[in-house]
Structure formats: C-alpha cells, structure tokens
Structure 1
Amino acid sequence: MKIVVLGGGESGCGAAYLAKKKGMEVFLSDKGAIKDNYRQFLNENGIEFEEGSHDEERILNADWIVKSPGIPKKAEMIQKINEKGIRLSSEIEFASEFTDAKIIAITGSNGKTTTTSLIYYILKNDGLNVGLGGNIGYSFAKQVADENHEYYVLEVSSFQLDDIQNFRPYISLLLNLSQDHLDQYNYNYEEYALAKFRITENQENDNFFIYNKDDEMSKNILEKLEIKAKMIPFSTKEKLEEGGFINGDTIEVKLKDTFSMKLDELSLLGTHNVANSLAASIAGKILEINNESIRNSLMTFQAVEHRLELVTEIEGVKYINDSKATNVNATYYALESMKTPTVWIVGGLDKGNDYTEIEELVKRKVKAIVCLGIDNEKIINFFKDKKEFIYDTSSMEKAVEISKSLAEKGDTVLLSPCCASFDLFKNYEDRGHQFKEQVLKANGN
C-alpha cells in the first residue's frame, strides 16, 4: 500500500514512522521547511521525504493520504486529492486503525488541553498503562508503533475530526462550543459545531459520550443528531439524576454509585475548571477508577502550562499566565475566575473578535488594560469609554513593566490575550514563556 503523509511535524512524522513499521511504501511531503529534529528523525528511520514543494504526481498516486491538521481543507492540493477520491485521513484516524487500545477522546472550543491532561493524570495515577497524544504531547501514531498502551487519552481538534472515517473512541467528551476557527468553516457556527460532534459519529451503544448540558449550541445540535453511544451529561447549573453536577459546595458524579468532593479541594481555579473536573471525573468513573484515587488526582493535579498558570507572587501581586487563551471565550473563563482587582494584558492577532462577550466582566474585574500587540487600535477603541486606564505596548518587556507599576498588593496581573500570537511571537507558548521570563526578571530572578 502506498501511503503519502502531508506535513513534516510531530503528527506527520509519527504517521510516516507507523506506516513504515507496518511495511507500507511511505513518502512524506511538506510544502514548507521541515524542522531539523524532524528531518533527522526521517533520515534515521529511512523515510523518503521532500520539503519546499509537493510532487503532485506522486501524491495523487497514493492509496491513502494522511494529512497534518494544520493544512487547510481549502488548500489546492487537498481539493485535488478529494476530486480523485483518494482516502484522506488525519493522524488520529490512521493510528487508530492499528491499535485495540481503549481511546478516550476530548474535544471542545476551550478546556481541551486541561481536561485531556487531567484525565491522563487520573488514569496514570491509578496505575493504568496509558498514553497521551492527539493535539498534545507526542505523536499518537508513533506511540501506537512503539508502545503497547491499553488506553490512549487524546486531545482532538475539529481539524482532526474533519478527516476521520472510522475513528471510534471508547469514551468521547465534548466540553463546550463557542465561535472559533470560523474562517475554516465558511463563517458558519453550526458547521464548526457539527465538525466537533463528529467525535461521536462512529460510536456504538457500548461506547460513552460525555457532554455539557449547559451548552446552548450542543443542545441545538443534539436535537438534530441521533447519538448511539450512552450519553452522560455534566452541568454546573442544575442537579442531574445521572452524570456530574454541583451540589452546594461539592461536586457530585452519579453513575452506578456516587462520587463527591468539596469544591475548595479541587486544584484547578474557576467555574470552567469545575466543569472540566466534572467531565474528567465521569470518565474516571466509567473506567471504574475508585473514588479515593479520583479525589487524590483532582486535588494534586497541576494546571497546564500557559492555561491559568500561576507564575509567581511578587510583593503580594499574583502573576498568571493564560497565554493559551487565544479567543474571547477562553479569556471570559479566565476573567470570571479572578477574585482580586486585575491588571489585564490583552492583544495580538485579532481573529474577528467580538469583545461585547467580556465587556461586563472587564468593567467589574479589571482595574487597568495593558494592550500587547503590533496593532491595538480595535481593543483600545472598544474599551476606551469603559476603562480609564488603557496602555498601548508592543513588547512583552514593556507590558510587564507597566503592569508591575500598576498592580498593588492583593491584585493580579493576568496575561489572557484573546488573540493569536503571531504578530509578535512564534506561538502562544513563546508568548507565555516570554511573559514568565519578564515577570521573573522583574522579581530579580
């Protein structure tokens, strides 16, 4: 079988490696430059590849093509592949064909990385043989090739779900929906939502689908779809007969038996993280992990880097890195969880943001806005009549310096940008690392 892999990053190299290991004829093609570490990996494993161009004839002669999620479905090469009717899959689809492990797959607009990491931590903490992959960590395909895990916990994006045919998780989770990546879905929110719901389309009645009962768009879609998997809801707003919910000052999960723990024992901050903890607890209960083990994991889990990550406290001021908040909805959750007056660092590459969603929270919680971007005009214009103190910066050093001068004992400095990072930084990780570096520098470290 001739396999062509498009994209020479983590998922592409992993897929090519798995194909090679399974005795297939494999060729990897990347229109851009392949990073040195991946180029070395391909050479070491005898995988034929090209970079800087696509050999169209060779690609269109493949039996099966595995595509990086970063390649837009509107790309010319993808159109040609679809016209020829060649099977086109994501790495998660490809790798899942070669493992009998139970897959726990998590999607949603916000909270995917945190919840995926938390579920992995719960399973690992309980001694299960588990791998972590998808949109996070190491390539799922490479793990399938080299490691014999009994479980995989996968963070899955809509772009990966666009290219599945048979992908069937044992447990699927859809955490929430908000308008994101609409440029890839014809600016149609429902089209994007339906892409997320593909996580459950191949599930059968011996599988489980965990969903958010509070999410409006999920409710609308569920009225139109027939889900075969056993559906288990979670809610932070109402008590449920079955599923996960808040009961006074505790979280509860009711399945065959009941799991409960105090809200203030959870290691993660904010209402949205209560929802993430409920979803993760349900997955733990389905896998028959005992209550004490789940409780211990929820108490000791450390927040994901760049997601409401406490960097340090300087002179009574907390510095929180939420660089992963690249859309307005993610920043909504961050602001909602703030309990003290907040100096808010915001800005970057705008993705058509509508700031009305966070307007009231900003009025209530934010004492000063520090804009960080090449072009901050849209943010400044939106908030100028609503906040007295707004500052315009175009470097992380300046943003942190101004924030430190504004914050007083008992305040919080929050980097939660609402925007993509590519105007000033390589990616959101680079932005988060630079924030941490400047904060620690300001503290003399």
Structure 2
Amino acid sequence: MSKKRLVILGGGESGVGTALLGKAKGYEVFVSDKGTIKVKYKKVLIHNEIEWEEQQHTESKILNADVVMKSPGISDKVALVQQLIQKNIPVISEIEFASKYTNATIVGITGSNGKTTTASLMHHLLKQEIEVGLAGNIGDSFAKQVLEKDYKNYVLEISSFQLDGIIDFKPQIAVITNITPDHLDRYDNQFEKYIASKFSIAKNQTKEDYLIYDADDEVITNWLDAHPVQSTLLPFSLVRKIENGAYLEQENIILTIDNNQIIMPKTNLALEGKHNIKNAMAASTVAHLLKIRKQTIRESLENFQGVEHRLENVLKINKVQYINDSKATNVNATYYALESMDAPTVWIVGGVDKGNNYQELYPFVNEKVKAIICLGVDNQKIIEAFGNMVDIIVETQYMTEAIKIAYKLAESGDNVLLSPACASFDLFENYEDRGRQFKEAVRNL
C-alpha cells in the first residue's frame, strides 16, 4: 500500500510544523511556496529530508495530493486552490490536521480583536497549575508542538482563515471575544460570511462542550439567536447580570459556573481598560472550567504583563508617556486604545487601509486627541475624516520623523500613541517591525 500524499502550500511556521508531523505520521510530504522560504525553515526541511520547492507551485506535484494543508495567508480564491476543490481533494488548515493527532483538551479563541491578549492571559493562568501549550496564530506551530511536546492542554489563537479550513476540528472550550468587520476583502465584502467563519469554531461542538462569548456584542448575540449552537453557553457582560458566566457588579467581576462562584475585584487587574476586563472574564471562565484554583486565578490576573505591541508602555520622557499599539491593524482595535487614553493624546495613525470607516472613533478623537501624525503612503482618507476635529495633522513616511514631531507637539502629562488602525505593509515588513521601529525611535530621543 502506497503512502498517502500530504501537500503543504506555504513554507512558514504552520507549514513546516505540519510537514514534520505529517512525515512522522507516515505521509509522503511535499512543501510548496510561491514566495521564498526563510533559511531557518529550509534547514529544517532539508535536515528532515522533506521535499520542497519555492517561488513556484508545480501543479503535477500538487494536484496528486490526498490532502492539502494550506497556509492561512493563501486565499481560497487562488486558481490552484479552486482546482484542488474541484478535484474533491480536502484543503484543510494546520489546526484541522494537527488536532487529529492529540487527545489534549483544546481551548480555541477567535474574534476580531483581543484574541492574542486573551490567549496569552489564559495561558498565563493555566500554566501555573497544568501543562499547557500556546499555539495557533501565536508562538510555535501547533502541529510541531503536538509532535514534540504533546501537552495535555492547548490554548489556540485561531483566525477566521484557519477556521475556514476545518472539517472535524472541535475545541472542548471555544471563546469568541468580539466580531467587527475586518478582512472583508477575503469574504466577498460580505460581513455575514465573515461572521459565519468565526462561528465555525463551535460548529462541531456538543452540549458537553462550552462556548464563552461577549454577550454585549450584538453581532454575536444576534447570530446565536438565528443560528443556535449545541454548546453549553457561558457568556460574559459588563452591563447585565449573568447566571451562568461572568458579569460586573460595581467593582467586582462575578463568575458563576454550576453554582460555583468566584468574586474578583476589577481594580486589581494588571491590564487597564474595559476591554481588558472582558479579556479577564473570558480567561478566568476557562481557568475555572479547567479547575484552576480561585487564588491562582486572582494572582495571575494581578501579575500578567500583557502582549508586545498591544498598548505597551514604552517610556516616559519629560512626563510624556509613549505607547506602542502597533498591533492595532483595524479601527476596532484603535477604538479600544483611544477609549483607554486618560490624557491629551498625540495619535500616530495610518498604513494600508482595509476599507476603514473611521466614524466610530469621532467621539474619542474629539475628546482626547490634540494632534494627528499620519504615517502612511496614502493618508487622504484620514485627513478627510479628522481634518475638522484636530488643529494639527502632519504627514510623514518615516517613523523617526513621526517621533520627532510627536516629541515637539506633546506637553507634560500627554500621551503619544502609535495605534495605526491599518495594516503595515506600505512602509514596514509587518506590525512587529513597525512597533519595534517606534520603540527604537522613542529610545533614541
């Protein structure tokens, strides 16, 4: 009997991890990348004698696959993927492939914003008492961890693109942080399709499984009303009382599961802002389900440091706080950032616009922003949106220049906030590169 053929499109972290797991499980593996494969990944493929190609897709070596794992960055609309679908060859994501080879308890987190912080916070809470891996869109590949570590539990940060490639994947605990329009270019500009994609995290769940979600998010609650799921629901809310789940009562977070209650003062949370109360609710609900002790949950919420490039306090210079929120690649993420500003703010914004509507930011900009620095190739839309609201709008294409301007404009007690609301590809490699350049420029002032 011949080996089954696993073809992997994309030679990045998830692709190479899947290749290693596939080989270990007896597949004949072929990795194909239309771009170039990073040297560190090439070395791994060569060392493990896995066949690969770059800067091309050889159809004769791909269309004979039994199963194809494609990188989340490749759209389903690509001609090659369409051909595979027409030939009824399953095209799946890394989480679908890897989950078949582990019996671990899986916590899956998706949402438009907050998933990295929530996943990191959850991992921080759980690792105090149980063995747990952190993977998905974050850290080392899930497939590679299943092969090398096989933890008893995993926290997976999962994007809608990864969820589009699942068939049987089922997390025992699913979390949806929020749903706002993002990446609509990949969903025929139909918000409904994007929402359905997020909800597929729960499509294989049964009543033994849990779905934790933001009950204040109308997109989520309306969808659940119209498309009920099998899962046991554990909502969280800042505005109404929740019997099973988490809510805010005065200064306390109250979490109840099957009549077992934890009360935590919100003032003790390490991370500030309303959205971080929600992240704490989601994370502590998961920790409670996985039998982490109440005391441990409380302590972990108090000492969690947060995520790089997400509302990260960089330095205070002349009583001006510089804040790196480069991970804010859409309007909704920047909404949280501006909402949490408690001082006049010089706001650095701009990049590649993903069809942004800046209207929801108007109240905060009116109230808190004293100057705007546009850091992008095309800033027209930002200038039109906010031109009447702030006295000073400046354009630049260099981070060092942006920081020098901010330094001149900011006065004692102000904030300088990098929260671009846009993708970074016009001037930077990625949002991490943008955030690091910001921090470096601030340190060089």
Q: Aligned letter for 1:438? A: A
Residue 195 of structure 2, aligned match among 176, 193, 196: 193
Matched, 1:389 2:388: no
How far off is 1:148 after superposition? 2.4
How far off is 1:257 after superposition? 1.6
Match of 1:176 in 2: 178
Matched, 1:214 2:216: yes
Matched, 1:260 2:255: no
Match of 2:406 in 1: 403
1:36-55 to structure 2, matched below 5 A, reads 36-55=39-58
Cα distance in 2 for residues equivalent to 1:100 and 1:245: 32
Q: Aligned letter for 1:364? A: E
1:206-355 to structure 2, matched below 5 A, reads 206-255=208-257, 256-355=259-358
Matched, 1:163 2:165: yes
Residue 65 of structure 1, aligned match among 54, 68, 75: 68
Cα distance in 2 for residues equivalent to 1:298 and 1:380: 39
How far off is 1:340 after superposition? 0.9
Partner secondary structure for residue 444 of structure 2: helix
Matched, 1:120 2:116: no
Partner secondary structure for residue 412 of structure 2: coil
Match of 2:137 in 1: 135
Match of 1:18 in 2: 21
How far off is 1:76 after superposition? 0.7
Q: Aligned letter for 1:76? A: A
Partner secondary structure for residue 226 of structure 2: coil
Q: Aligned letter for 2:207? A: N
How far off is 1:99 after superposition? 0.2
Q: Aligned letter for 1:63? A: D
Matched, 1:358 2:372: no
Cα distance in 2 for residues equivalent to 1:332 and 1:355: 9
How far off is 1:304 after superposition? 0.3
Cα distance in 1 for residues equivalent to 2:385 and 2:146: 49
The worse-fitting range, judged by mean Cα deviation, of 252-261 and 95-104 is: 252-261
The worse-fitting range, judged by mean Cα deviation, of 94-103 and 388-397 is: 388-397
Partner secondary structure for residue 424 of structure 1: coil
Q: Give the fraction of aligned pairs with identical amino acids, expressed as a percent.
A: 53
How far off is 1:380 after superposition? 1.1
**Structure 1 consecutive aligned stretches of length 4 or more whose deviation exceeds 3 Å:** none
Cα distance in 2 for residues equivalent to 1:185 and 1:9: 23
Cα distance in 1 for residues equivalent to 2:156 and 2:181: 22
How far off is 1:90 after superposition? 0.1
Cα distance in 1 for residues equivalent to 2:229 and 2:354: 32
Cα distance in 2 for residues equivalent to 1:375 and 1:66: 36
Q: Aligned letter for 2:443? A: L
Deviations 1:338-381, CA, capped at 9 Å, x for gaps: 11111110011111111111011110011111111112121112
Q: How many residues align?
A: 441
Q: TM-score, structure 1 length as denominator?
A: 0.98
CA RMSD in angstroms comes to 0.8
Q: Aligned letter for 1:237? A: V
Q: Aligned letter for 2:155? A: V
Partner secondary structure for residue 301 of structure 2: helix
1:91-102 to structure 2, matched below 5 A, reads 91-102=94-105
Deviations 1:314-335, CA, capped at 9 Å, x for gaps: 1111111000000001000000
Match of 1:145 in 2: 147
How far off is 1:252 after superposition? 1.4
Deviations 1:400-439, CA, capped at 9 Å, x for gaps: 1111111111111110001000110000000000000000
Cα distance in 2 for residues equivalent to 1:336 and 1:148: 40
How far off is 1:242 after superposition? 1.7
Cα distance in 2 for residues equivalent to 1:17 and 1:240: 45
Match of 1:109 in 2: 112
Partner secondary structure for residue 239 of structure 1: coil
How far off is 1:385 after superposition? 1.1
Q: Aligned letter for 2:230? A: K
Cα distance in 1 for residues equivalent to 2:61 and 2:85: 15
How far off is 1:226 after superposition? 2.6
Match of 1:380 in 2: 383
Partner secondary structure for residue 433 of structure 2: helix
Residue 76 of structure 1, aligned match among 52, 59, 79: 79
Q: Aligned letter for 1:234? A: F
Q: Aligned letter for 1:28? A: V
Q: Aligned letter for 2:75? A: P
Q: Aligned letter for 2:177? A: L
Partner secondary structure for residue 227 of structure 1: coil
Q: Aligned letter for 2:52? A: F
The worse-fitting range, judged by mean Cα deviation, of 430-439 and 378-387 is: 378-387
Deviations 1:140-178, CA, capped at 9 Å, x for gaps: 000001112000100000000000000010100001000
Match of 2:429 in 1: 426
Cα distance in 1 for residues equivalent to 2:426 and 2:61: 36
Match of 2:420 in 1: 417
How far off is 1:259 after superposition? 1.3
Cα distance in 1 for residues equivalent to 2:91 and 2:237: 36
Q: TM-score, structure 2 length as denominator?
A: 0.98
Match of 2:11 in 1: 8
Partner secondary structure for residue 223 of structure 1: helix
Cα distance in 2 for residues equivalent to 1:315 and 1:249: 33
Cα distance in 2 for residues equivalent to 1:262 and 1:401: 40
Cα distance in 1 for residues equivalent to 2:239 and 2:402: 37
Structure 2 gaps of 5+ residues are: none
Q: Aligned letter for 1:360? A: P
Structure 1 gaps of 5+ residues are: none
